[in-house]
Chains A and B, each alone.
Chain A
Amino acid sequence: MWPETQSAFAAALLDPGKEIPSGIAGDFGRAAKDRFAVYRNNVIKGLCEALREGFPVVAALVGDEFFDAMASAFVRAMPPASPVLLHYGRGFPDFIAAFEPAAAVPYLADVARLEQARTEAYHAADADPVGIDTLQGLSDERLAGLRLELHPSLRLLASELPVVSIWQAHQGSDPVAGSGLPQTGDCALVLRPGWSVEVRAVAAPVHSFVKALGTGAPLADALERLDRADAPDPSSALVELFGLGAVTGFTDTRIEPKEELPC
């Protein structure tokens, strides 16, 4: 019966230690096991390639042989649950963090997180950014209560290691956009306002500020995260955030709903 045969087939695909299903014809000069091996190889190779596409810098950092071994281990431990592979890499950074042979490369998991953030930004929903001029004329009190809507592609990353610099070193002639803000290299803002994904190193307080905005904090509360010696002044941070195309609109929670904002 096909359901039983298919179950045996599926189980043996990812586990080379399992017997191949019975009933496979070993005809025309090639043994059944040899023939089944083509499918085993196709499955592992195809999924490893899908991962390599999403994690090119991780692959470059460890070399193809190591990457294939690590990706195969991930595929066998966590095969995809969906035929949409765009999101398959989501579990890979955590897997790398726990993958003992990769322990000698302490930044590898965070570089993978950065690459995963880029993939997510690439496929995120579209939205039109608004300019900072849309805030013109609002009183300080109303500005303080604004909740900014951030672009659906925006991702934040904080690392104890200089992952942005490491990632940037593998980008050839396509360097990371410079920032006028103090950079420590350990926090990144990833965004796709238009056609291409941008990776930007940001200071830790800016990361904290944008993160607060992302959780729905009113502007005044979020700006408090910049109340540190190593932070840029609030207006520069706000100008830069709008300038990046990271803001797509805003709501005002302190006024009557009928007073709609021009957004």
Chain B
Amino acid sequence: MTRARAGVGLKPRHYQDVLEGVPETGWFEVHPENYMGDGGPPLAALARVRERFPLSLHGVGLSIGGAGDLDHDHLDRLKALVERFQPELVSEHLAWSTHQGRFFNDLLALPYTDETLDQVGRHVDQVQTHLGRRILIENPATYLRFEESSWTETDFIAELARRTGCGVLLDVNNVFVSCTNHGDDPHDYLSRFPMAPVGEIHLAGHAEDRADDGALLLIDAHDRAVADPVWALYRQALRLGGPKPTLIEWDNDIPDWTTLQAEAARADAILAEFPQPGARHVA
């Protein structure tokens, strides 16, 4: 890679398109949890994709925001995939998904306090030490806030990156979803976001949930095309931080390959508007 490109999530329904065609995409991302079987088509497909494309592993199962200890079996499984596939990027979420041996399969919110900053910092340290590499941490989509929070999300992420040396994955759709849900200005949020450690950007579609009284909550559904205000925010992010590898996340109601590729091409066209000084690598 000589410049930041758009990539897409690799989905089983597109294996054939990707492996037998000439996909016009810069790179692929997968949830490592979907590749933790013993063998079979998913791992075989990933190996073939990896021969031709840069790869990003985007975890959903480490529960870095949880109060409990990390699941070391899961960390070992992740390490095995990292060693086998040598991804350019490895990322996780500022969220929790497991509690006392129960996995909730969702990225759940945490309060932003000195206590949780210490805890998340320890977890990120442990992951980076175990994997022997830097990881990126993603800003979450949230539907609620905790009264005890004493840090803003942007300051919390900036301090986490400063303490641990981790990178940041800026999910622009999550910025729009969370800010809308909490009555904040997403442009203001972006202007406060730590851009220097950003190593990847996510774009996705969201759903609208309207209460009987008309009050709106946006849901980070990943089930449709990226919304226009999110494209506008994306441009602002690139103006502030420069071009970064950008993923189209489309995980539900997954479209055909052509539609997905067109969405990535749109991100590529925007990336091309920005100069890429010295960029030599996907990361």
Contact = CB atoms under 8 A, between A and B. Distances in A.
B106 A2 contact: no
B217 to A, nearest CB: 6
Interface residues on A, range: 35 or more
8 contacts: A2-B110, A5-B111, A10-B99, A25-B146, A42-B219, A86-B33, A86-B37, A123-B42
Interface residues of B, number: 56
A29 to B, nearest CB: 4
Contacts, number: 144
A9 interface: yes
A29 B115 CA distance: 29
Contacts of B42: 123
Contact of B146 (A24, A28, A50, A196): A24
Interface of B: 33-34, 36-44, 60-63, 66-68, 71, 74, 77, 96-106, 108-111, 113, 115-116, 119, 143-148, 181-183, 209, 211, 213, 215, 217, 219, 252
A23 interface: yes
Given A29-B215, A84-B36, A43 B67 contact: no
A123 B37 contact: yes
A108 B208 CA distance: 36
A35 B217 contact: yes
A2 B111 contact: yes
A85 B76 CA distance: 16
A38 B108 CA distance: 10
A81 B101 CA distance: 5
Nearest to B42: A123
B39 A30 contact: no
Contact of A39 (B108, B110, B113, B181): B108
Contacts of B113: 2
A174 to B, nearest CB: 15
Contacts of A42: 106, 219
A84 B33 contact: yes
